[in-house]
Amino acid sequence: MDHQPQSDADFLEPSVLLDETHYQEGFKNGYHDGLSSGKEEARQVGLKMGFQVGEELGFYQGCLDVWMSATRIDQNAFSTRVRKNIEQLAELVSSYPLSDPENEQVQDVMEKIRLKFRVITASLGARLEYEGRPASSKQDVEDL
Amino acid sequence: MDGAAAELREAHRLAGHADRVWSLAWNPAPGAGAGPVLASCAGDKTVRIWKRAPDGAWQCTDVLEDTHNRTVRCCAWSPDGKLLATASFDATTAVWEYSGCDFECVATLEGHENEVKSVSWSPSGSLLATCSRDKMAWIWEVQPGNEYECVSVLQGHTQDVKMVQWHPHLDILVSVSYDNSIRVWADDGDDEWHCVQTLTEDNNCGHSSTVWAVSFNHKGDRMVTCSDDRTLKVWDTSADLSQPKTGEGHESWRHLCTLTGYHDRTIFSAHWSSEDIIASGAGDDAICLFAEEKNSMVEGPSYKLILKKEKAHDMDINCVRWCPQDPRLLASASDDGTVKLWELKGSVLD
């Protein structure tokens, strides 16, 4: 480092550097705090969303289990068309990418599932609905 | 005809509904010896049935209420005249059995996510189509015992579907929408319904705004649509789109002509009579009648205005329907809460 006569800028340098140091320390503390609270919040959101998806899919699977049992007891419990719809719903539910929440298809698959479920209940004349889900498929998932 | 100028004479004014009347339906088969039977549905959540008394006056003989808990938007009779379907903003469609004197609600179809806008019976009476603001159309099959099974859900429109209408002879369904397009649906014989054609502004000289209604002529080789763009469009629908495409060059439905400048507000309804007269009703409170120009030298058919009835109602006209038993009798429904019956007098031919 040059040992030149100190100019005004150099005179102020320690003050500026002090400011900079404090800033850096503040930034580091803030970042760490944010990181850990962000992780905690994200974990809560993930658990909540995962629960909601799981609960909804579980509901449809439950209905499917009952319907398929009914068919095993009596092949003609449902019409051919309704049986086909039940099979299609079963395929859709098992095709839901459970371990891949980042998959872009998730919303699409869930909407197909909901629609197919409504087609079945409408055809059976059954007032059966997953209560947890929003009325319109376009609404955001509500807070539990 | 005596050669007098065509005139639309107001014959009767049917008051009774407590809110805007949205839609009308004439019973296609009221029974041997019975006069015409008209159903009207309204924002007052009821459906009213109107019949002509022996002295010629029209009376409301039935009020179908306590079933829908919101506006009844559309009603339609089955081809055999024994069932009346009513579509409501409460997201359900009710089916009523008509014995000739009584009405009984025998089924309620649920499935749409929100307001049902229209309902239509297929020519055989075995299928029922409904459409909704949820952008979808549902096709239902009638089963014994008043059971209805969903055959298919038609997805494709990107906005509110305003009306569905079956072709008069073929199992082809047409839907029209707030998305400005007209979609044609047919099945492959295995319950798989697909959109076989979409008529848009870009591809087919289609409408540039919401399409509100569609009506076929008696033969089924023409259809008319009307829109918020203040035009009516006539289409050549002679191609049988219910048949699977065989190789290249399969035909499609195409635009024939556009009727512009006759209404200066949204045209909400259009209906083709069995005498090939098109009636239209609009937000300008007027009814127009059109017929094909037989002597036309231009390429393709063209239509001319027979007459425009200004101030036919005090407010927007939501629906116009020709009576199947009397092709000179026209019914109109309006936001003013009334239904009017009109008689077409005079000569409409060249």
Domain boundaries, given as residue ranges, for chain B: 7-344
Q: Against a cut of 0.90, is the pTM above it?
A: no
Q: So what's the pLDDT on residue A14? A: 76
B114 touching A (Cβ < 8 Å): yes
d(CA B320, CA B289): 11
Provide the pLDDT confidence category of residue A128 given band limits of 50, 70 and 90. Answer: confident
d(CA A134, CA B33): 52
Task: Specify whether the CB–CB gap between B341 and B333 falls below 8 A.
Answer: no
Is the pLDDT score of A81 beyond 90?
yes
Q: So what's the pLDDT on residue A142? A: 33
> Which residues are paired to B17 by β-bridges?
none
3-state secondary structure of B227: strand
Sheet with B21-26: strands ordered across: B21-26, B37-42, B47-52, B58-64
A6 touching B (Cβ < 8 Å): no
Cα A133 from chain centre: 13
Is the pLDDT score of A138 beyond 70?
no
- Domain B7-344, what fold? Methylamine Dehydrogenase; Chain H (2.130.10)
A138 touching B (Cβ < 8 Å): no
Residues of chain A contacting residue B144, judged by C-beta atoms under 8 Å apart = none
Residues of chain B contacting residue A117, judged by C-beta atoms under 8 Å apart = none
3-state secondary structure of A65: helix
The tens digit of pLDDT for each residue in A16-55 reads 788 888 899 999 999 999 999 999 999 999 899 889 999 9
Q: So what's the pLDDT on residue A69? A: 95
Is the pLDDT score of A3 beyond 70?
no
Q: So what's the pLDDT on residue A141? A: 35
Provide the pLDDT confidence category of residue A140 given band limits of 50, 70 and 90. Answer: very low
B192 touching A (Cβ < 8 Å): no
Sheet with B277-282: strands ordered across: B267-272, B277-282, B287-292, B303-309
Is the pLDDT score of A10 beyond 80?
no
Tell me how close the Cα of B95 comes to any Cα of chain A, in angstroms.
13
Q: What interface predicted TM-score (ipTM) does this complex get?
A: 0.86
| Minimum-distance CB partner of A123 among B107, B114, B149 | B149
Q: So what's the pLDDT on residue A136? A: 44
> Which residues are paired to B41 by β-bridges?
B23, B47
What chain B residue is nearest to A126 in terms of C-alpha separation? B110
The stretches of chain B forming alpha helices (DSSP H) are: 201-204
Of B148, B228, B156, the closest CA to residue A121 belongs to B148
State the Cα angle at B71 between B213 and B325, rounded to 5°. 50
Residues of chain B contacting residue A135, judged by C-beta atoms under 8 Å apart = 113
Tell me how close the Cα of B196 comes to any Cα of chain A, in angstroms.
22
Burial (0-12, 13-18, 19+ Cβ within 10 Å), B181: buried
Q: How many helices (H) and strands (E) are present in chain A, helices listed first?
A: 3, 0
Number of CB atoms found within 10 A of residue B272's CB = 22
Going by the DSSP 8-state scheme, the letter that residue A131 receives in this structure is T
Q: Does the beta-carbon distance from A136 to B111 stay under 8 Å?
A: no
In order along its 350 residues, chain B shows pLDDT tens digits of 456 789 999 999 999 999 999 999 999 999 888 899 999 999 999 999 999 999 999 999 999 999 999 999 999 999 999 999 999 999 999 999 998 889 999 999 999 999 999 999 999 999 999 999 999 999 999 999 999 999 999 999 999 999 999 999 999 999 999 999 999 999 988 889 999 999 999 988 999 999 999 999 999 999 999 999 999 999 999 999 988 765 555 689 999 999 999 999 999 999 999 999 999 999 999 999 999 987 766 777 889 999 999 999 999 999 999 999 999 999 999 999 999 999 999 987 65
- Residues with Cβ within 8 Å of B333's Cβ and at least 6 positions away in sequence, in order, are B21, B22, B23, B24, B40, B317, B318, B319, B320, B339
Interface test with B, best of A86, A121, A123 (most B CBs within 10 A): A123
Q: Does the beta-carbon distance from A122 to B110 stay under 8 Å?
A: yes
Q: Does the beta-carbon distance from A137 to B191 stay under 8 Å?
A: no
Going by the DSSP 8-state scheme, the letter that residue A42 receives in this structure is H
Q: So what's the pLDDT on residue B61? A: 96
Task: Specify whether the CB–CB gap between A113 and A96 falls below 8 A.
Answer: yes
Interface test with A, best of B90, B127, B150, B154 (most A CBs within 10 A): B150
A122 touching B (Cβ < 8 Å): yes
Is the pLDDT score of A83 beyond 90?
yes
Pair of tokens at residue B242: 């219910």
Rama region for B237: left / alpha / beta (φ>0; ψ in -120 to 50; rest): alpha
State the Cα angle at B95 between B26 and B109, rounded to 5°. 135
A residues 50-109 near B, CB within 8 Å? 79, 81-82
